[in-house]
Amino acid sequence: MEIVSSISRMQELSALARRDGRIIGFVPTMGYLHEGHLSLMRIARKKCDVLVVSIFVNPTQFGAGEDLAQYPRNIERDKKLCREEGVDVIFLPDEREMYPENYSTYVEVSGNITNVLCGYFRPGHFRGVATVVAKLLNIVQPHFAVFGQKDGQQLAVIRRMVRDLNYPVEIVGAPTVREPDGLAMSSRNEYLTPKERKVAPKIYESLMLAEKMIQSGIFDPEIVKDRMRRVIEEAKMFRIQYVEIVDAETLEPVKKIESPVMVAVAAFLGKARLIDNIVVNPR
C-alpha cells in the first residue's frame, strides 16, 4: 500500500495504471473510518484493479461555527483499516496541497438540488463538496467512484455535477451501513454521550415507519412527516432540522408520493448533527 501526499505523484500513478489498462476504483473519505467506509471499499475492491482511498477533511465544505476543528481524526487506525481492506493507494494530501495560495475556483451545483435539506441549513456546504470532488476526480482519474447513500443529497449533487460537467466516471451509490439498533454509521456518532447514543436510533425508527406508511398506501407526505416527527420527538432530546420527503433524483418537493422518494431527516442530538435517509418506491 502506497501513501501519497502529492497531487502530481497521484496523477502520475493514475496515468500509469490507466496506460496499463488497469481499472481504478475510488473511495473518497474524510477519514476516521468506520464500517460504512469499509463497505464502500469492499464494493470498489471487487470491481477494480487499483483501489484508491482519499482521506482529506475538506475545509471548504464546513461552514462557520461547524465542527471542522473537532472533526475526529485517527490517521494511524485509518491506515491499518485500509491495509486490511486491500487498498492500493491512500491519497492523503494536506490543506496547502489541495488549496494553494490564491486558490479561487469553485464548482457550484445550483438550484433546488442544493437549496433544500442540508443545503438550506449548511449554505456553501455543497459548493465545497462539489469543488473537492471535482478536484479529486481530476487527481485520481478513477473509472468509478463509490459514495454512500447515507449522504443522500451529496450523492444526488455529485451525480448531477458529474453529468453536467461530463466527467468520464461512473458514480456508484452504496447502501447505508447501520449499527445493530439501526443507527446509521457516521464519524460524527463519536460525539454522542451514552445517553444520547441510546435514543439515536429514533431517527431510523421514523424512517422505517415512513416506509411502512407509504407501502401501506399513505401517499400524502404531510401525514407521513407528521408521524415521523412524533416518533423522533418522543425522546425529547432531539432538535430536528428537517423531516422531508422529496423526489429521489431531483430532490424536488413532492405533493403526492407516486414515484421513488427520498425520505430524509436531519437532527441535532447534543453536539452531533445526525442525518439519515431511505429511498422508498411507492409502487
The minimum distance between CB 160 and a second copy, in angstroms, equals 6
Distance in angstroms between the alpha carbons of the first and the last residue of the chain: 46
For the chain, the maximum distance between any two Cα atoms, rounded to a whole number of angstroms, is: 58
Residue choice 72, 235, 247, 250 for contact with a second copy (CB under 8 A): 250
CA atoms within 13 A on the CB side of 126: 26
Dihedral sign, Cα of residue 212, residue 218, residue 222, residue 227: negative
Residue choice 13, 27, 92, 130 for contact with a second copy (CB under 8 A): 130
Question: What whole-number distance in Å separates Cα of residue 273 and Cα of residue 191?
Answer: 9
Candidates 56-64, 84-92, 131-139, 177-185; binding stretch for a second copy (CB under 8 A) = 131-139
Binding to a second copy by residue 217, rule CB under 8 A?
A: no
The minimum distance between CB 93 and a second copy, in angstroms, equals 10
Binding to a second copy by residue 6, rule CB under 8 A?
A: no
Question: What whole-number distance in Å separates Cα of residue 30 and Cα of residue 53?
Answer: 10
Specify which residues 138 forms β-bridges with: none
The minimum distance between CB 264 and a second copy, in angstroms, equals 19
All three cell numbers of 131: 469543488
Residue choice 107, 235, 240, 279 for contact with a second copy (CB under 8 A): 107
Strand 261-269, strand 272-280: pairing: antiparallel
Residue choice 76, 104, 222, 283 for contact with a second copy (CB under 8 A): 104
Contacts of 103 (CB under 8 A, 6+ apart): none
The minimum distance between CB 109 and a second copy, in angstroms, equals 5
Question: What whole-number distance in Å separates Cα of residue 143 and Cα of residue 87?
Answer: 16
Candidates 16-24, 43-51, 215-223, 274-282; binding stretch for a second copy (CB under 8 A) = 16-24
CB closer to a second copy, 113 vs 183: 113
**CA distances from residue 135 to 53, 99, 242, 269 in whole angstroms, order as listed:** 14, 10, 30, 33
CB closer to a second copy, 109 vs 199: 109
Question: Which strands, in side-by-side order, build the sheet including 89-91?
Answer: 2-4, 89-91, 50-55, 24-29, 144-148, 170-174
Binding to a second copy by residue 135, rule CB under 8 A?
A: yes
Spell out, one character per residue from 152 to 181, where the chain touches a second copy: x when CB under 8 A holds, - when not.
--------xx-xxxxxx-------------
The catalytic site residues sit at: 37
Q: Which residues here bind a second copy, judged by CB under 8 A?
A: 7, 11, 15, 18-19, 21, 100, 102-111, 113, 130-131, 134-135, 138-139, 141, 160-161, 163-168, 250
